[in-house]
Amino acid sequence: MRNLFIVLILITALTSCVQNDKTKTVSEEEITTEKINEYGNTLQVFTSAHNSEFKLTPTGTIEFSDYKQPLETEASILIDPTKKFQTFVGIGASLTDASAETFYKLTKENQAKFLEAYYSKDKGIGYSLSRTSIHSCDFGSESFTYIEEGDVELKTFNINRDKEFRLPFIKSAIAAAGGTLKMYVSPWSPPAFMKTNNNMLQGGKLKPEFAASWAKYYAKFIKAYEKEGVPIWGLTIQNEPMATQRWESCIYTAEEERDFLKNYLGPTLENEGLGDKKIIVWDHNRDLIFQRASTILNDPEASKYVWGVGFHWYEDWKDGEPMFNNVAKVYEAFPDKNLVFTEGCTEGYDLSRIINEDPKLAERYGRSMINDFNNGTVAWTDWNILLDETGGPNHVNNLCFAPVHGDTNTGELTFTNSYYYIGHFSKFIRPGAKRISSASSSNKLITTAFVNEDNTVVIVAMNQSSEALSYTVTVGSKTATVEMPAHAIQTLLLK
């Protein structure tokens, strides 16, 4: 009888748990469905358009009417907030030596303006994520490491050089963001003596005998930055591990990156008390992302250290087409890992393209962000947050565009359309948001959508055509008609 009584108690407890789980699920679905019908009858619209005065400008509110069946001849967006996907981590940019050096050549007034513009949630675009390099990359005035050449035991390790510009710049960004800014770090190359080509530049590989020392180097860097008051959230293993660049670079095959992670870097971080840092693999273009992810994540001993897979957008050098589908393939195959866009900029700086508001510059951001988010990406990181009037400084003359340029002669700032396009996402989609289902019926009109933790629905739509566009937005049983200029982007808020 006693055993029977225990069994009955267990059955009752299990039944109760199942019922509670079901109740919770049903309750969440009912709340979500009700919320759709409880939303107000207006969409608040913000617009940025090329060759216009619209720069993240509030352009009115649109009234919803009863549901209207979209026609095949119309452009339409359908939003379904009941279908939720990945949780949003944040949007930001890299705080490089080039950005820091440029920042301190601005006027004090424009330094404050810059920080507010990027990091204020109310007056700016609310960046919440950042990246920086472990010692030098190409974007800075020189190539350097934190140790003396040949110091295998890292006895000379120090970050004193960063204390002149980079660290004060990062601390100012953290303060402007309200005291919290997720920071992850990336190396471009080990010190020269650790590499097969004895050069930090021009590719080469990590010599096997220095793998342990190089892994310890990451730990020393993280601890040194945290001692300076800069918390490190995560790291990538190697920037662009398949590219032999004329600047700092180092080559890893997928197998080599996997083995360095599981045999050296992962265990070292754990032994150093840094096992909570988010490790991101690949950190290169979309073209080979699936091959790299498969090789590393199908190895349980390597996969256990991996938080996410990072990627860049430069694969379009082949035929001009971004390979967004490869991001989706990783999302489908490894749903327990996180996808992070870790770098993107437009190469070949040319001031006339900014003056003439070449739409390709900003639309590259809008198209990438919309597609990357729709394919499962949780975080998105621009490259240099600020560059000078030449697209540098860069110690190998690899001059590029940034969303904001500072004139080091006058101390003035130029905000390009790319800044405003990014802001249509970062200002309104906040960390903790969930992506929700969204679909467009027109190739001219691309879209993504999120619901924030306060249940505000954020819809971002971009018109990549040279003609103004009228389109409908349907949410639940409501439809609204919205007008968008040519080469424009809009954020629609439904509260």
CATH number at residue 465: 2.60.40.1180
The predicted structure's pLDDT at residue 220: 98
With respect to residue 393, please indicate whether it lies within any of the assigned structural domains: yes
- Predicted confidence (pLDDT) per residue in 161-178, tens digit: 999 999 999 999 999 999
Q: Label residue 40 by pLDDT band (50, 70, 90).
A: confident
- Given a cut of 80, whether residue 14 has pLDDT beyond it is no
Torsion of CA 108, 110, 111, 114, to 10 degrees: 170
The predicted structure's pLDDT at residue 25: 32
The predicted structure's pLDDT at residue 391: 98
With respect to residue 6, please indicate whether it lies within any of the assigned structural domains: no
With respect to residue 18, please indicate whether it lies within any of the assigned structural domains: no
Q: Label residue 10 by pLDDT band (50, 70, 90).
A: very low
Q: Label residue 38 by pLDDT band (50, 70, 90).
A: confident
Q: Is the peptide bond before 485 cis (omega within 30 degrees of 0)?
A: no
With respect to residue 16, please indicate whether it lies within any of the assigned structural domains: no
* Six token digits for residue 363: 């639309």
With respect to residue 27, please indicate whether it lies within any of the assigned structural domains: no
Is 75 found in the same domain as 45?
A: yes
- What b/e readout covers 66-98, taking b as 16+ CB neighbours within 10 angstroms? eeeebeeeebbbbbbbeebbbebbbbbbbbbbb
With respect to residue 9, please indicate whether it lies within any of the assigned structural domains: no
**Average pLDDT value for residue range 468-489:** 96
Is 398 found in the same domain as 455?
A: no
- Given a cut of 90, whether residue 384 has pLDDT beyond it is yes
The predicted structure's pLDDT at residue 3: 43
Is 65 found in the same domain as 210?
A: no
**Pairwise CA distance, residues 133 & 137, whole Å:** 7
**Average pLDDT value for residue range 234-239:** 98
The predicted structure's pLDDT at residue 13: 38
Is 223 found in the same domain as 201?
A: yes
**Average pLDDT value for residue range 136-140:** 98
Is 265 found in the same domain as 190?
A: yes
Against a cut of 0.75, is the pTM above it?
Answer: yes
The mean predicted confidence, pLDDT, of the chain is 93
Is 388 found in the same domain as 319?
A: yes
**Average pLDDT value for residue range 200-226:** 98
Q: Among 382, 403, 428, where does a domain finish?
A: 428
Is 127 found in the same domain as 103?
A: yes
Lowest mean pLDDT among 7-21, 92-106, 222-236, 368-382: 7-21
- Given a cut of 60, whether residue 59 has pLDDT beyond it is yes
The predicted structure's pLDDT at residue 39: 78
The predicted structure's pLDDT at residue 26: 31
Q: Quick one: which of 404, 466, 415, 329 has its CA closest to 102?
A: 404
**Average pLDDT value for residue range 452-473:** 97
- Given a cut of 70, whether residue 9 has pLDDT beyond it is no
Is 333 found in the same domain as 215?
A: yes
- Predicted confidence (pLDDT) per residue in 389-444, tens digit: 999 999 999 999 999 999 999 999 999 999 999 999 999 999 999 999 999 999 99
Q: Label residue 354 by pLDDT band (50, 70, 90).
A: very high
Is 452 found in the same domain as 317?
A: no
**Average pLDDT value for residue range 37-60:** 93
Is 353 found in the same domain as 457?
A: no
Is 93 found in the same domain as 81?
A: no
Neighbours of 492 (CB within 10 A): 25
Is 128 found in the same domain as 81?
A: no
**Pairwise CA distance, residues 157 & 145, whole Å:** 9
- Given a cut of 60, whether residue 21 has pLDDT beyond it is no
With respect to residue 17, please indicate whether it lies within any of the assigned structural domains: no
**Pairwise CA distance, residues 300 & 13, whole Å:** 35
Tell me what percent of the residues of the chain surpass a pLDDT of 90: 91
The predicted structure's pLDDT at residue 32: 53
Q: Among 395, 428, 461, where does a domain finish?
A: 428
- Given a cut of 60, whether residue 490 has pLDDT beyond it is yes
Q: Label residue 2 by pLDDT band (50, 70, 90).
A: very low
Q: Among 428, 463, 481, where does a domain finish?
A: 428
Inter-axis angle of helices 359-374 and 417-426, nearest 10: 20
What CATH number does the domain containing 201 carry? 3.20.20.80
The predicted structure's pLDDT at residue 127: 98
Domain count, the chain: 2
**Pairwise CA distance, residues 96 & 88, whole Å:** 24
With respect to residue 271, please indicate whether it lies within any of the assigned structural domains: yes
The predicted structure's pLDDT at residue 409: 96
Q: Label residue 308 by pLDDT band (50, 70, 90).
A: very high
Parent domain of 236: 89-428
